[in-house]
Each structure stands twice: as C-alpha cells, then as structure tokens.
Amino acid sequence: MKIPTLIVRLIGLYLLATCSIGLFQVQKMQAIAGPAFRQNDLAGDLQIFAWLGLVVGFVATGFAGPLARFLTFDSEPKERSADLSDQLLGRNNKKT
C-alpha cells in the first residue's frame, strides 16, 4: 500500500469513528434534554453533518486507491507484475 492510499484510508477510518460517536452523542443529548432539544435546529444540523461524515468516511475507506490517485494527480496506476518471483528475480514480462 502506498503512502497516499494509507493516508486517505486512515482519514476515512477517522471520519467513520468520530461521526458515529457524534451520532450517538446527539441521540444521548436528545434523550436527556427531552423535547426541548429536539426542536432546536442545532441537533438537526449536528445529525446532518455526522451522516455526511459517515458517507464520506465510507467512500474514502472503500475507494482509497482511486481517490488517492485522483487527489495526487496520478493519471494511471502503475502496472504490477503478476508473479512475485519475477519481481524478486528482476525479470521483465514486457509484451513485444
């Protein structure tokens, strides 16, 4: 795994963790405060941002490779050799 892919995947996991905890905290605040807090626009805004963060976290975690390539302006992925022994022995499998 390349460094940009790792960074994107870690950011996605961070968003998943923090936004899911945020959703639980908003639900607890609503349960403690009662109906007065439910009428407040702040609770709705917090829930919308937490759900949006969860979606972005899922996308960033699931599509870390293509997203990292897009963010670093790489046009094409590097080709990999299908055989590990070819890599270790330094042989080239170029089609001529």
Residue closest to 11 by CA, chosen among 67, 73, 60? 60
The pLDDT score that the predictor gives to residue 1 is 66
Q: Give the pLDDT mean for 73-96.
A: 59
Q: pTM of the entire structure?
A: 0.69
What would the pLDDT profile of 51-82 be if each residue is shown by its tens digit?
Answer: 999 999 999 999 998 888 888 886 565 665 45
Task: Decide: 26 and 43 in contact? Cβ < 8 Å.
Answer: yes
Number of H helices, E strands in the chain: 5, 0
Residues 6+ apart with CB under 8 A from 58: 12, 16
For the chain, how big is the Rg over CA atoms in Å? 22
pLDDT at 96: 46
